[in-house]
Structure 1
């Protein structure tokens, strides 16, 4: 049963999750001008230059009613982690002060807050979706309802690539759940209302902002493993919402109060204003179903380690790999895992993968994205170049053993 929203904010200080993107601060509302919503045609010669008081009241009523219908399903999420403290309240163990191991205690403290959305009640259990980076590294979790009720939460599952996580709480005090919209039907310019708990869940809980959907299918590169290199691209909705730390995991809703996205990030530079991003609701639905069922997203894997062809010097590409001088697109296999799909299919070291089912592969990131469009058990055809000769190899995909931590091939 899909239901409505709830508010809460928890943002762990995840290292380098977004490159030039301020991750973990999504969940505010988009800012919408009355002129853009009500005033199309105001500059036309044959149109009036004013709207009635009734028009303005109706617009305001739409926004306020949507918030009233939705905010009970938006929650704050607290991420608690254990830190070492001495009997004197000092963090950490200071060598040479004579403290014994038994003097050091593990004390869980609140290290970050974010937001979440209640989307389902099943008997005595309720389910909350939030961002993976909001709960990353937690030892314990706490959800705060719109009325201030605090509830212990447990992780059902999480996925770093989609940046989504599902939590479970008691349904005893839950009064509402969010309804999901079809994000494929969203249009640029549509009203968007963000609800979340920026900065501090106690002080600014249930903050509401309003605006529009600024763009669809925006590709945003991210670093999922903290090594400083972008290794995945997320496809997101763009909004002109005012985004602040703590809004991550909050609800982005339409004028009917339906969830169109989970706020996740923004462009955070001194020269950029109003560029926030949300995970589309249809993507959210697909991921949370898998997290509920498996605790993770099970993705297919070839069992190869690859390096982008354009990383290789011209001499290596031509003399060692047998490629044309102007060829720079492809993923070079540098290792094949034992007992993997790739080994069973006959993939070899230094094969250059150039396509999956005739879809061009320009580098390892594209290879991964194309691969994840298929399911475990599917058979795909790889186009490879081996020793300068192109050939096709059929591969039956197996499940990845490490789907939640890092992108795999």
Structure 2
């Protein structure tokens, strides 16, 4: 109320200055105020009005902000502090030596090297996939050519960098392991292109570890199980690569997909920032993510059993591969790579039936587990050897 009273007082003063003599039919009496007004130039008069109106606006803004909730003010502060960390990312292809815009997305500035004026940006792999030229787009419309540092299709992440002498903020990377369901989530990105640059939406973290099957090479075989954050902050095409922030302004994820169905609303997903940190480190070092391998070749037990039946029936010729009674699934080890991860731990003829407690039905399910592992992780395999079940454990080495 105090602010409103001040505004009312200012308006009364303006009314007194402007215009009793113009709007009221008082007798023509020249007062000191009227003489002073008559002596004001048009420029002075405009300045006076501007000063009064600026004060009115300031009072109104102050009154409005005092009426906002604490949460609203916190969101506003996050956007003010870190909104500019989210930039546009344009994917260009060349036709007849002319750059043609293929698609647009978003990215988040996470590092600034002052000596070289370089900014590093994390975005989605699918945003820059197939690009012959990448440009970072700022809010004022400037486009800056960017360099691809590396990308990883499995995690759908890519790192690019660009040079700029201007000072831009960098995101503060949070800890996605500390997330809890129900906490606030703020999405910033560029939905549907740059006409809606820097759009802000608000929601909550709906789920912490949603496993989404990914077939990144289109062969109808699951290559990767992405563990993502589910949230309900509205995202659209163009938000890909944009930031998901918590109420403190920390980056907690990179938005990368949503469920698009007529019966579904606001189910979006983001790559957890702890995954992002690991991939950033790998891409900066190697330009790709180094992954482990078991260092074996093998066959699915179900395929061996089927072949054995064909041999017994005389349909095909070959040698029967002995499989213990009651074993109907798993991976039969046919050879080992010297100095590979499993070398010295597994033997030819072993049958892998579990990986870290997860049943291994065939080679595809075994490959899926290895694709989700990191170099140095401990693999604990449950195997059948000489008709006995046993376990072996060993660290995973770099894929040769």
TM-score with structure 1 setting the length: 0.70
The within-5 A match list for 1:344-383 is 344-345=343-344, 351-356=350-355, 360-364=359-363, 367-368=366-367, 370-371=369-370, 376=375, 380=379, 382-383=381-382
Change (3 A) 1:179 1:367: same
Q: 1:75 aligns with which of 87, 94, 98?
A: 87
Listed as ranges, the matches of 1:232-311 within 5 Å are 232-305=224-297, 309=301
How many residues are matched?
Answer: 325
After superposition, the Cα gap between the structure-2 partners of 1:69 and 1:297, relative to the gap in structure 1 and judged at 3 Å, is: same
For the pair 1:155 / 2:148, whether they are aligned, the reply is: yes
CA drift of 1:260 comes to: 0.7
Match of 1:400? Answer: 399
1:175 aligns with 2:174: no
The alignment yields a C-alpha RMSD, in angstroms, of 3.2
Aligned to 1:114: 105
The answer to whether the 8 A contact 1:259-1:281 is kept is yes
User: 1:133 is matched with which residue?
Assistant: 126
Q: Deviations over 1:17-67 (max 9, x none)?
A: xxxxxxxxxxxxxxxxxxxxxxxxxxxxxxxxxxxx967533322222211
**Partner in structure 2 of residue 187 of structure 1:** 180
What residue ranges of structure 1 are gaps of 5+ in the alignment? 1-52, 84-104, 402-409
Counterpart CA distance in 2 for 1:340 and 1:108 is 48
Normalised by the size of structure 2, how large is the TM-score? 0.71
Higher relative contact order (CA 8 A, sep 6+): 1
Cα pair 1:322 1:387 within 8 Å, conserved: no
Structure 2 CA distance for partners of 1:242 and 1:258, relative to 1, 3 Å: same
Q: State which drifts further: 377-386 or 245-254.
A: 377-386
Task: Give 1:385 deviation, angstroms.
Answer: 2.9
8 A Cα contact 1:336 1:342, kept in partner: no
Structure 2 equivalent of residue 92 of structure 1 = none
Q: Distance in 2 between matches of 1:366 and 1:140?
A: 37
Cα distance in 1 between the residues matched to 2:87 and 2:131: 17
Shift of the 377–113 alpha-carbon distance from structure 1 to 2, 3 Å rule, reads same
Give SS of 1:72's match.
Answer: helix
5+ residue gaps, structure 2, are 1-64, 313-319
Q: 1:390, CA displacement in angstroms?
A: 4.1
Compute the displacement of 1:158 (Å).
Answer: 1.1
How far residue 255 of structure 1 moved from its aligned partner, in angstroms, is: 1.0
CA distance in 1, matches of 2:258, 2:300: 28
- Whether contact under 8 Å (1:260, 1:280) holds in the other structure is yes
C-alpha deviation, 1:228, in angstroms: 2.5
Using the alignment, how far apart are the partners of 2:71 and 2:348 within structure 1?
62
Larger Cα-atom Rg: 2
Deviation per CA, 1:113-156: give whole Å up to 9, x if none: 11100001012211000111111111111011233221111111
Is contact 2:185-2:204 (8 Å) kept? yes
Secondary structure of the residue aligned to 1:384 is strand
Distance 1:316 1:107, change over 3 A: farther
1:193–1:210 CA contact under 8 A, matched in 2 = yes
Contact 2:336-2:348 within 8 A present in 1 as well = no
Distance change (3 Å), C-alpha of 1:129 and 1:325: same
Distance 1:65-1:386 versus aligned 2 partners, 3 A rule: same
- 1:306, CA displacement in angstroms? 5.3
> How far 1:308 sits from its partner (Å)?
5.5
Counterpart residue number, 2:71: 59
Counterpart of 1:211?
A: 203
- Give runs of aligned pairs for residues 20-35 of structure 1, distance below 5 A: none
**1:147 to 1:340, Cα distance in 2 relative to 1, 3 A:** farther
Bigger shift: residues 339-348 or 164-173: 339-348
2 CA distance for matches of 1:350 and 1:109?
55
